[in-house]
């Protein structure tokens, strides 16, 4: 589906995520069958109208056409404003295309890898904008959506680690400690928190044994005054993301006191103790998982993402 992508092994729709990866033609057909089932279940106005849950199927944004997933991401005049303002190659493309597979094949054929990344992120943000308009009565202008998309891509690119660096020796003690690849069969999830004056930033990055970034996330939360609580909140986000993706993980952070609390059999009565105890419950259910400490030098990407989170408009 995308040049140079990793193999696709998960499809997650609960949080509007789309993962693109390499696939054989027969795998691509099976995926499209799955997407068609998902599209029929998606709460678009057209699907809701078919179930007699709403009076009409018109798009809540433009009010002209029936609202389908393709309408939201491609056909709607509000979506066209974003495509015209973002990628020059597709500015004059027809908006009548209603088959995602055909559209995506055209995009692969005409766009560069970087442009394809931007398209994927913009499609997700278009759907999130639609949800925000319906449920929060907020509507982002095209420039804001495009800026957000470029910021997301920048965050992901910063999370990529050069493979040669990952395989370099680790110096402990007086030297710096680099990120260490996980045990075979595991994914390593690094987390960190950054305290701001008005917000709390949380950063998570998941990488495999060769350092390839499988997922990364930035979360902006209301500010807290306790650094250990902030780190505990970041760990919980890493646990939720890892659990959602179905990975066997080694959770790694640079908050030693909190890591010790997680691995202690004693009940934690600190400010973030309830989160610590929730993490322990998850670890008991997933006995292969473990939480371990690393020096700050080995947690640089998660730290950068946490700082970036303070600047983003949404998770």
Tell me what the mean pLDDT of segment 178-205 comes to: 92
Regarding whether 180 and 284 lie in a shared domain, the answer is yes
- Per-residue exposure over 266-287, b if at least 16 CB sit within 10 Å of its own CB, e if not: eebeeebeebbeebbeebeeee
The 3-state DSSP class for residue 202 equals strand
- pLDDT score of 271: 87
Regarding whether 304 and 185 lie in a shared domain, the answer is yes
CA atoms of 162 and 212, how far apart (whole Å): 9
pLDDT for residue 5 is more than 70? no
Q: What percentage of the chain carries pLDDT values higher than 70? A: 84
Instruction: Report how many domains make up the chain.
Output: 2
Residue 255 lies in a domain: yes
Model confidence, pTM? 0.56
CB 201 within 8 A of CB 314: no
- pLDDT score of 10: 38
CA atoms of 270 and 132, how far apart (whole Å): 36
Question: CATH number, domain at 195?
Answer: 3.30.420.10
Compute the C-alpha angle 215/309/217, nearest 5°. 10
Query: What are the residues whose beta carbons fall under 8 Å from the beta carbon of 1, sequence distance 6 or more?
Result: 8, 20, 21, 22, 23, 28, 31, 104, 108
Q: What is the DSSP letter of 22?
A: B
Regarding whether 270 and 178 lie in a shared domain, the answer is yes
Domain boundary among 158, 187, 203: 158
Domain span at 73 = 25-158
Strands 200-207 vs 213-221: parallel, antiparallel or unpaired: antiparallel
Q: What is the DSSP letter of 191?
A: E
Regarding whether 53 and 146 lie in a shared domain, the answer is yes
Residue 94 lies in a domain: yes
Regarding whether 86 and 39 lie in a shared domain, the answer is yes
Residue 14 lies in a domain: no
Residue 286 lies in a domain: yes
pLDDT for residue 173 is more than 50? no
- pLDDT score of 105: 85
Regarding whether 181 and 79 lie in a shared domain, the answer is no
Model confidence band, residue 22 (pLDDT cutoffs 50, 70, 90): low
Regarding whether 84 and 55 lie in a shared domain, the answer is yes
pLDDT for residue 301 is more than 50? yes
Regarding whether 189 and 300 lie in a shared domain, the answer is yes
Count each helix (H run) and each strand (E run) in the chain, helices first.
Answer: 12, 5
247: left (phi over 0), alpha (psi -120 to 50) or beta: beta
Q: Report how far Cα 236 is from the mean position of its chain's Cα atoms.
A: 15
Regarding whether 183 and 55 lie in a shared domain, the answer is no
CA atoms of 57 and 68, how far apart (whole Å): 9
Domain boundary among 134, 158, 182: 158
Regarding whether 154 and 84 lie in a shared domain, the answer is yes
Regarding whether 174 and 275 lie in a shared domain, the answer is yes
Q: 105-158, pLDDT tens digit by residue?
A: 899 889 998 899 899 999 989 999 999 999 989 999 999 999 988 888 887 776
Residue 1 lies in a domain: no
Of 30-44, 98-112, 134-148, 285-299, least confident by mean pLDDT is: 30-44
Between residues 19 and 281, the one the model is more confident about? 281
Domain boundary among 158, 190, 206: 158
The 3-state DSSP class for residue 288 equals coil
Residue 7 lies in a domain: no
The 3-state DSSP class for residue 289 equals coil
Beta bridge partners of 204: 191, 217
Residue 164 lies in a domain: no
Backbone φ and ψ of 108, nearest 5°: -60, -40
Regarding whether 188 and 130 lie in a shared domain, the answer is no
Q: 54-74, pLDDT tens digit by residue?
A: 999 999 999 989 999 999 999
Residue 19 lies in a domain: no
């Amino acid at each position: 589906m995308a040049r140079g992508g990793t193999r696709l092994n998960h499809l997650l729709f609960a949080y509007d995520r789309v993962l693109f990866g390499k696939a054989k033609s027969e795998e691509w057909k099976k995926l499209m069958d799955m997407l068609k089932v998902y599209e029929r279940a998606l709460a678009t106005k057209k699907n809701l109208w078919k179930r007699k849950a709403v009076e009409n199927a018109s798009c809540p944004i433009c009010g002209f056409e029936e609202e389908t997933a393709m309408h939201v991401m491609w056909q709607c005049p509000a979506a066209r404003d974003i495509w015209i303002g973002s990628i020059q190659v597709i500015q004059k493309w027809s908006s009548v295309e209603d088959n995602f597979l055909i559209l995506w094949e055209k995009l692969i054929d005409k766009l560069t890898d970087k442009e394809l990344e931007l398209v994927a992120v913009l499609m997700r943000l278009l759907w999130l904008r639609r949800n925000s308009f319906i449920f929060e009565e907020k509507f982002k202008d095209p420039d804001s959506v495009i800026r957000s998309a470029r910021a997301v891509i920048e965050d992901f690119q910063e999370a990529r680690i050069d493979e040669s660096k990952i395989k370099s020796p680790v110096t402990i003690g007086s030297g710096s400690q680099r990120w260490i690849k996980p045990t075979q069969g595991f994914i390593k999830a690094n987390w960190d928190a950054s305290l701001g004056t008005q917000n709390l930033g949380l950063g998570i990055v998941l990488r495999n044994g060769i350092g390839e970034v499988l997922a990364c996330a930035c979360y902006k939360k209301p500010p807290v005054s306790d650094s250990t609580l902030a780190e505990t909140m970041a760990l919980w986000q890493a646990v939720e993301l890892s659990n959602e993706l179905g990975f066997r993980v080694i959770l790694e952070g640079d908050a030693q006191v909190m890591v010790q609390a997680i691995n202690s059999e004693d009940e934690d009565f600190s400010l973030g103790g309830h989160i610590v105890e929730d993490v322990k419950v998850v670890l008991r259910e997933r006995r292969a998982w473990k939480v371990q400490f690393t020096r700050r030098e080995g947690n640089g990407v998660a730290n950068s993402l946490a700082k970036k989170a303070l600047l983003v408009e949404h998770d």
